Amino acid sequence: MEYFKQLAYNSGFSPESAKEHLQKVISDPIFSVSDILKRFLSFIVQEKLEGRSNQLKEYTIGVNVLNKPSDFKPQLDAIVRIHACRLRRALNRYYDGAGKEDHLRISIPKGNYVPLFYEPGSNENPEENACTPEEDHAIAAIPAHSISVAVMPLTYFGKGKTITSFAEGLASQLSTELAGTKSLAVIGYYPLRFLDEKPFYLRDITRKTGAQYLFTGDLHLEANRVRLNIKLIHANSCEQVWSRLFDRKLTATNMFDLQDEIIKNIIAETADFWMSKKSGISESSAMAVA
């Protein structure tokens, strides 16, 4: 109770007025269409008003707002930073529009998740809500309406140009075909070839591109037999959600046909998995307004 009195004294408004303003903000169409935006803003405001600002960390928000598991690792998963960036942009849109005449405003300063309350034009007016460069990079990598997926360069065992061409062509074509799948955002294949050369490439990919799922695999060529072991894994947990082994005859004349056949099977067999993930897309789509 003493904390609330001190808050009202220092800020010139009461916790009750802050709560009323919060309800006004999240009732606006910019926020009302997105449960995540509403939950995120409501959670950090409530924590602030109840004196728990020191607990507003990526992990806490990920677990309490985004329903991440207890082993959530923010350093490997940029999802909190991505939604914080969208929240800042949504607040900017609100105060540029319906909230332009509001006497109380909420700001989320760059680099943390503790909200600030201020009056427009006051000496304590904080800098405009803005995304950090890292958040901008992450949000650009994951379109709001899509599940983000990347095809990693295939590891191959064998000598000669045939296996190299087959591996590169297969991964590149798979990336191209996946881009035609509704609700998927596919990270460009060729930039990933350079990321793959660095240590801890999974961490780099999830941080730099925001990929949620990865296709990985290996090819073995012996005589004229090629064996492909390909897997779809969750980028952050490394959980294998789908896999398939292809064992085929490879010749100089059937390479393209064989690539087409394998890719057709991969697209068809993973279709149900992508469909099962669509339940979360409608909510993510609403984030696009931010």
52-99: per-residue pLDDT in tens?
999 999 999 988 988 888 888 887 777 888 888 888 888 988 988 888
**CA 35 – CA 126 distance, rounded (Å):** 26
The average confidence (pLDDT) of the chain is 78
Domains annotated for the chain, with CATH where assigned, are: 2-141 (no CATH), 147-280 (3.40.50.10610)
The pLDDT score that the predictor gives to residue 281 is 43
> Does residue 179 sit in helix, strand or coil?
coil
Q: Between 190 and 72, where is the model more confident?
A: 72
111-155: per-residue pLDDT in tens?
789 998 888 866 555 555 555 555 555 554 444 446 888 898 898
Could you please report the per-residue DSSP string of 72-111? --TTT--HHHHHHHHHHHHHHHHHHTTTTT-S-EEE--TT
The Cβ-side half-sphere exposure at 73, using a 13 Å CA radius, reads 9
**CA 35 – CA 286 distance, rounded (Å):** 9
pTM of model > 0.75: no
154-176: per-residue pLDDT in tens?
988 877 788 888 998 999 899 88
**What is the Rg, in whole angstroms, of the alpha carbon atoms belonging to the chain?**
24
214-264: per-residue pLDDT in tens?
999 999 988 889 999 999 998 877 889 999 999 999 887 899 999 999 999
Q: Which residues of 104-128 are buried (b: 16+ CB within 10 A; e: fewer)?
A: bbbbbebeebbbbbbeeeeeeebee
What does DSSP say about strands 213-222 and 225-234: parallel, antiparallel, or unpaired? Answer: antiparallel
Nearest in space to 222 (alpha carbons), one of 157, 166, 155, 154: 157
